[in-house]
Amino acid sequence: MKSELLVDTNMLIYSVDSDSKYYIRSRRLLYESEYELFTTSKNCAEFLSSVTRTDPPMPLRKALSYVREFQASMKILYPSKVSSLHFDLLLEKYKPMGLKIHDYEIAAIGLAHNVTQIATLNVRDFKAIEEITIVGFETET
């Protein structure tokens, strides 16, 4: 049985940006992985928000086609009552502020589905969360 891995938004973004130095690494993760991959509906929304506000912006139709590709290669996890409970516990325990709160919601959705590992290049966003493990994609960003 494959180990389960939550894929963070930055890995999704880099997988479609052939100019990124992380392009090959993220593509290998998404399409040649030894993991069973998951991402959240929140990551998909963050992906759409990010790629459609670049200069030049990616057309929404193209961005949505990438989201459909992600849906074909990994399971999309959605918020639930259980994830809301995890989210509340994480917020109470760690007291994140501002944009960091989004990362805690992503972690909570994963935890609600018993996915406790995450692939991210933004290690700082998740390293304080003891309940999850960052898997092999660390960088200084």
**Amino acid in position 103:** D
CA 34, CA 41: separation in Å to the nearest integer? 22
CA 107, CA 104: separation in Å to the nearest integer? 5
Using the predicted structure, report yes or no on whether residue 129 has a pLDDT greater than 60.
Answer: yes
Using the predicted structure, report yes or no on whether residue 140 has a pLDDT greater than 50.
Answer: no
Q: Spell out the domain ranges in the chain.
A: 4-134
Of the pLDDT bands very low, low, confident and very high (cuts 50, 70, 90), residue 137 is: low
CATH code assigned to 4-134: 3.40.50.1010
Residue range 62-114, pLDDT digits in tens? 999 999 999 999 999 999 999 999 999 999 999 999 999 999 999 999 999 99
Say whether 18 sits in a helix, a strand or coil. coil
The phi and psi torsions of 23 (rounded to 5 degrees) equal -55, -55
Whether residue 110 contacts residue 6, with contact meaning beta carbons closer than 8 Å, is answered with: yes
Residue range 30-74, pLDDT digits in tens? 999 899 999 999 999 999 999 999 999 999 999 999 999 999 999
First to last CA, the chain: 32
- Taking Cα atoms as reference points, which of 39, 20, 21 lies closest to residue 30? 39
